[in-house]
Amino acid sequence: MRRSVRQEFCGGGQSCHCRPFPSPANVDLAQGTAKNGELTHMSRETVTVIGLGQMGSALAGAFLAAGHPTTVWNRTPGKADALAAKGATRAQSVAEAVEAGELVVVCVLDYAAVHELLDPAAASLDGRVLVNLTSGSPEQARETAAWAAGQGARYLDGGIMSTPPGVGNPASMILYSGSSEALATHREALTALGDPVDLGEDAGLASLYDTGLLGLMWSVFGGWLHATALVGADGVAASTFAPLAIRWLTAVAGFMDTYAGQIDAGHYPGDDATIDVQLVAVEHLLHAGRDRGIDGRLPELHRELMARAVADGHGGDSYARLIEAFRKG
C-alpha cells in the first residue's frame, strides 16, 4: 500500500514535529508558518490541480491560500505563471502532476478532455484520490468512476455550485458523490474550496444534482429577466426591482419546502393557493406583457401546464400537482 505523501514529506518518525491539520488559529497563512515557528506546509497534505482555466486557477489558489503544497499542470503552460508566483509547483507532465499529489483534482472543459489527459497517465493514479470537478453527465461520472477504480484510485465526482470568485468561500456548496470514505479522509483539504456536500456513493449524483440545480437557476433567471423587462417597460430600473425580487424568492423557497413534501406524498392539497386561482393570475401577467410588447413565451408555458391540469380535473390542487406534467414530458 502506498504511503501517504504527508508521511513521505517528513518521514513520520518519532522525531517528527509535524502536526496533522493545524487549526487556522495556529497558522499564519501569509507566512506559511505556524505561530510557534514550525513549517505548517509539512503537515498539510499535498494536492494537485490539473486544468488551470478560470475555475482550476481558483481551485489551486484556494489550496495555496489554505497552506497546501500545490502542484499544477495545464495544457497551456503560461496559465500556471500566476500560481507559481504564489508558491505552486509546476509539473512538467500530467503523470508528474498526478504523482505529486495525494489528492488529485482535475477541472477541465469536459470529460473528453479528462480522458485525453489522464488515460496516458493512468498508471500513476494507483493509490491516489481523483477528484473530478469537470462538469458532465451522471453517466459520464459513473463511467469515469469505474475507470478510476480500475486504475486503483478512489474517485469523487463533484459539482461546483459557484463561479470562480466564490471558490474558497465556506458559503459556496461543492457537491460530491463517489467514495464517501475518500471525502471523509480529505474533507479538511476540500473544505478549502467551499462547503463539501456528500451525496453518497453513487458517483453520478453530483452531476445529476448539478444539472438539475443549473436548470433551476436558468428558470429563475428567465422569470426574473421577464419580470424585469415588464417593470422596466414602465420605467422601473432593474436595480430598484431586484431587492423585491430577491425578497420574493425567499418566500418562494418556503413554498417549495411545503410542496416538496406534497410531491413525495403524491398528494397535492390546494389549501394555500389552487391552480384555478393561479390560472387566472397568469392571464394578468400575459395581458400586462402583451400591452408592453414583452416576450410572453415563459408565462405561456406556465399557462399551458396549468390549463392542462385544470382540464384533467385538478384545478383545486396546489401548484405542486404540475410535477406530473414534467414527469410525463
Considering only residues 107-166, where is the footprint of ligand NAP by CB under 6 A? 107-109, 113, 116-117, 134-135, 160, 163-164
Q: Nearer to ligand NAP by C-beta: 52 or 306?
A: 52
Least distance CB 199 / ligand NAP (angstroms)? 16
182 vs 197: CA distance, rounded Å: 13
C-alpha dihedral over 257, 261, 267, 272, to 10 degrees? -30
Least distance CB 220 / ligand NAP (angstroms)? 17
Considering only residues 257-316, where is the footprint of ligand NAP by CB under 6 A? none
326 vs 2: CA distance, rounded Å: 49
Q: Nearer to ligand NAP by C-beta: 75 or 308?
A: 75
What is the SS3 assignment for 181?
helix
Least distance CB 54 / ligand NAP (angstroms)? 4
Binding residue count for ligand NAP, defined by CB under 6 A: 21
Considering only residues 232-251, where is the footprint of ligand NAP by CB under 6 A? none
Q: Of the listed pieces 10-18, 105-113, 121-129, 225-233, which binds ligand NAP according to CB under 6 A? A: 105-113
Q: Nearer to ligand NAP by C-beta: 159 or 299?
A: 159
Q: Nearer to ligand NAP by C-beta: 153 or 160?
A: 160
The DSSP letter of residue 229 is H
Q: Nearer to ligand NAP by C-beta: 105 or 275?
A: 105
Residues contacting 131, CB < 8 A, separation 6+: 103, 104, 105, 106, 156, 158, 176, 186, 190
Q: Nearer to ligand NAP by C-beta: 83 or 309?
A: 83
One residue of 15, 76, 239, 250 binding ligand NAP per CB under 6 A: 76
What type of residue sits at position 63? F
Considering only residues 44-73, where is the footprint of ligand NAP by CB under 6 A? 51-56
Of 118, 184, 170, give the one whose Cα is nearest residue 145: 118
- In the complex, residue closest to ligand NAP by CB: 53
Q: Of the listed pieces 103-111, 144-152, 219-227, 254-262, which binds ligand NAP according to CB under 6 A? A: 103-111
Least distance CB 126 / ligand NAP (angstroms)? 22
Cα–Cα distances in Å, from 230 out to 77, 224, 278, 293? 47, 10, 19, 9
Residues contacting 66, CB < 8 A, separation 6+: 29, 44, 168, 189, 192
Of 105, 97, 63, 62, give the one whose Cα is nearest residue 77: 97
Q: Nearer to ligand NAP by C-beta: 56 or 67?
A: 56
Least distance CB 194 / ligand NAP (angstroms)? 11
Least distance CB 162 / ligand NAP (angstroms)? 6
Of 154, 165, 158, 160, give the one whose Cα is nearest residue 58: 165
Least distance CB 312 / ligand NAP (angstroms)? 39
268 vs 120: CA distance, rounded Å: 53
| Helices within the chain (DSSP H only) | 5-10, 54-65, 81-85, 94-100, 111-118, 138-150, 180-185, 187-191, 205-232, 238-265, 275-292, 297-311, 323-327
Adjacent-strand bridge partners of 269: 317
Least distance CB 104 / ligand NAP (angstroms)? 15
Least distance CB 26 / ligand NAP (angstroms)? 32
Task: Give residue 51's region: left, alpha or beta (phi > 0; psi -120 to 50).
Answer: left
Q: Nearer to ligand NAP by C-beta: 54 or 93?
A: 54
| Binding site residues, ligand NAP, CB under 6 A | 51-56, 74-76, 79, 107-109, 113, 116-117, 134-135, 160, 163-164
